[in-house]
Structure 1
Amino acid sequence: MIKGLFGGKKNSTSVEIERKFLLTRLPEAKPERRHHIRQGYIARNGGTVVRVRQKDDSYILSVKTPSKGIGRYEIEKTLTADEAEVLFAACSEPQIEKTREIYHHGGHIWEVDIFDGANKGLIVAEVELKSETEDITLPPWIGPEVTGLQKFYNAHIAQNPFKSWGVSYADLVQRLQG
């Protein structure tokens, strides 16, 4: 049994409401923080995703399930490195590798994911919201919105890496800006 699921470690349940965007360019400012992330998918079924993630030296098991609108229920459990490695070995698809850069703009935290490996060249920005109707001020480097387009969700990217899309990032951004 994985102790982190039921032990006294930090755990959380929440509704995640986020919007996703492509970038027209990288931010000029230095990021406030930078993290290396590795994640793998243990299961996907009907919109529910079970994922294991290493973020720098921390490990998390996440379960995301659909909710109403653009939000998703998210349950997270802290794992030890040994527990996480057992789960990484159980992942059926290639793992996602990316660098996450954190920026503040307009009172919101923006996470810019710069993918590596089979997804090298793909860059996606996310902003978490308190409600679906919350107003946001877009940074000048934000391009087309891809919220709701499954192609841009990490679970899909793990199965269908960017290198197989047959398009450059610049052409993708241009096509979606229409």
Structure 2
Amino acid sequence: MEVVSPLRPTYWSNDSEYSIKQWYLPKKAYSFDGRNLTISNCIAVSAESKSLSDAISKALSRKRPTVRIRIIDGNTAWLTIKGKTKNYARIELEWPIDIDEAKATVESNVWPNVEKIRRYIDTDGLTWEVDRFLGDNEGLWLAEIEIPSIDTKFKTPSWVNREVSHISELSSHKLAKKPFTTWGKGLISRALYN
């Protein structure tokens, strides 16, 4: 994860923006019986194979698993379970879910969330996800590169200020719980300037 220059980059255009809102579910909001992942008493995902069931079980067995519902442009919804981060990499399990069901679920619950505008930038055959945060995280821009393996070499674009993958407070999950605008000067300084 990288911090992007606070100035609006020249590559940014409104026609390629995606509006994203993500809700992070507490453990009490979901259950997994080995086959069905149930959220708010509604079956969202069925594990079709033992390997998928095992992957879901492993991801959910973490002390603080990341389970989120993401709505993109108000018309597409995804359920995501993220595995443990190790060496800046982790497994992500993701499924499309019914948009009306997703909206009803998030509207009937008060879960931590983040809002952002995302743009995908292709550079040297790799894709950067550039997020401009809104709401309680207004003013924060982050970029993340999608690489096929941890050993992949890449050039950092000029619009990237610094590497911040090691600062866990800058994950969307953490920003949903403790927004950027509520940070004290010490944390802001450590995250953005040291």
The DSSP-based 3-state class of the residue aligned with 1:163 is: helix
Report the equivalent of 1:33: 16
Report the equivalent of 2:4: 23
The answer to which structure has the higher helix fraction is: 2
Distance 1:90 1:155 in 2: 20
Residue identity in the other structure for 1:29: Y
Cα deviation, residue 172, structure 1? 6.5
Which of 63, 67, 77 is equivalent to 1:59? 77
Which of 79, 101, 107 is equivalent to 1:83? 101
Report the equivalent of 2:66: 49
TM alignment of 1:86-105, pairs within 5 A:
86-89=104-107, 92-105=110-123
Change in CA separation of 1:71 and 1:91 when aligned onto 2, cut-off 3 Å: farther
Report how many aligned residue pairs link the two structures. Answer: 156
What TM-score results when the alignment is normalised by the length of structure 1? 0.77
Instruction: Give deviations 1:27-56, integer Å, cap 9, x for gaps.
Output: 212447210001100136635200000011
Cα deviation, residue 91, structure 1? 5.1
When structure 1 is superposed on structure 2, of 70-79 and 83-92 the one drifting more is 83-92
The DSSP-based 3-state class of the residue aligned with 1:136 is: coil
Instruction: Give deviations 1:114-134, integer Å, cap 9, x for gaps.
Output: 000011011100111111111
Cα deviation, residue 90, structure 1? 5.9
Distance 2:93 2:160 in 1: 29
CA-based RMSD of the aligned residues comes to: 2.4
The structure that has the greater radius of gyration is: 2
When structure 1 is superposed on structure 2, of 38-47 and 127-136 the one drifting more is 38-47
Change in CA separation of 1:141 and 1:67 when aligned onto 2, cut-off 3 Å: closer
Cα deviation, residue 85, structure 1? 1.8
Residue identity in the other structure for 2:2: F
TM alignment of 1:90-169, pairs within 5 A:
92-167=110-185
Change in CA separation of 1:110 and 1:83 when aligned onto 2, cut-off 3 Å: same
The answer to which structure has the higher strand fraction is: 1
Identity of aligned residues (%): 28
Distance 1:42 1:117 in 2: 19
